[in-house]
Amino acid sequence: MGILYVVATPIGNMEDITLRALRVLGECDAVLAEDTRVTRKLLERHGISVPAISCHEHTDERKLTELVSRLSAGESFAYVTDAGTPGLSDPGNKLVSLAIAAGVSVVPVPGPSALGAIVSVAGIDMREFVFKGFPPHKKGRETFFRYVAGSELPVVYYESPHRVIKNLTLLSDLAPEKRVIVGRELTKMFEETVRGTVPEVLGHFTDESKLRGEFVVVAYN
């Protein structure tokens, strides 16, 4: 049988890729990519010419089954998402689950993660915390933030630039005394980490130019 490698890729800074990840990407039969256009840029940057095959949350069961059949027949694939570690708030779990069920070895190739990055610079006790992924867009959004507001443990979640102000405002209404650590554009040119109460951090982001890029938030008491 082949091997399914789950490979972490940079979350922004293209230098943040391990020597092992580059070796695995170059040696596998194909790279299964959330977006082949994004992945090809990474592969070309490092002179890797293996095929990239689209594999994402909307990939149908038949194609996933075919990929697992190829793994069972001896091919090895590297699974990557657009950025970071597959399996953290992205569609990689279905492919991994099918591969495990077929008896295929699934091997992690660890590396960058926005979750790990923000935890490493939080400067608070993070021996226990809750990771909630992305908040719901509509249904369940208030329930999500009521959980965050009431949690005794730090809660980490990802956020998009389009909803970060709306959702921080909701959190401020529910628990204005909560403190947050907001990482924006981590590892990129305009990286920043902002700390304070929710109202204080909201004040920092009144400048719309600071609402670009992806966000990761830690909310704590």
pLDDT of residue 127: 96
* Angle at 33 (CA atoms; ends 55, 18), nearest 5 degrees: 145
Domain with CATH 3.40.1010.10 in the chain: 3-112
Q: What percent of the chain has pLDDT over 70?
A: 98
CA 52 and chain centroid, separation: 20
What distance in Å separates the CA atoms of residue 81 and residue 70, rounded to the nearest whole number?
20
Classify domain 115-220 at the CATH topology level. 3.30.950
Give the length of the chain.
Answer: 221
DSSP string over the chain? --EEEEE-B-SS-TT---HHHHHHHHHSSEEEESSHHHHHHHHHHTT----EEE--TT--HHHHHHHHHHHHTT--EEEE-SSB-TTSSSTTHHHHHHHHHTT-EEEEE----HHHHHHHT--S--SS-EE--SPPSSTTHHHHHHHHHH-SS-EEEEE-TTTHHHHHHHHHHH-TT-EEEEEESTTSTT-EEEEEEHHHHHHHTTSGGGG-S-EEEEEE-
Global pTM value: 0.90
pLDDT of residue 4: 97
Q: Residue 219's closest CA among 166, 173, 168?
A: 168
CB 91 within 8 A of CB 56: yes
- Ranges of the chain with pLDDT below 50: none
pLDDT of residue 90: 62
pLDDT tens readout for residues 131-162:
999 999 889 999 999 999 999 999 999 999 99
Domain with CATH 3.30.950.10 in the chain: 115-220
Query: Spelled out in words, what is the top-level CATH class assigned to the domain 3-112?
Result: alpha beta
pLDDT of residue 191: 95
Alpha-carbon distances of 181 from 107, 116, 188, rounded to whole Å: 32, 14, 17
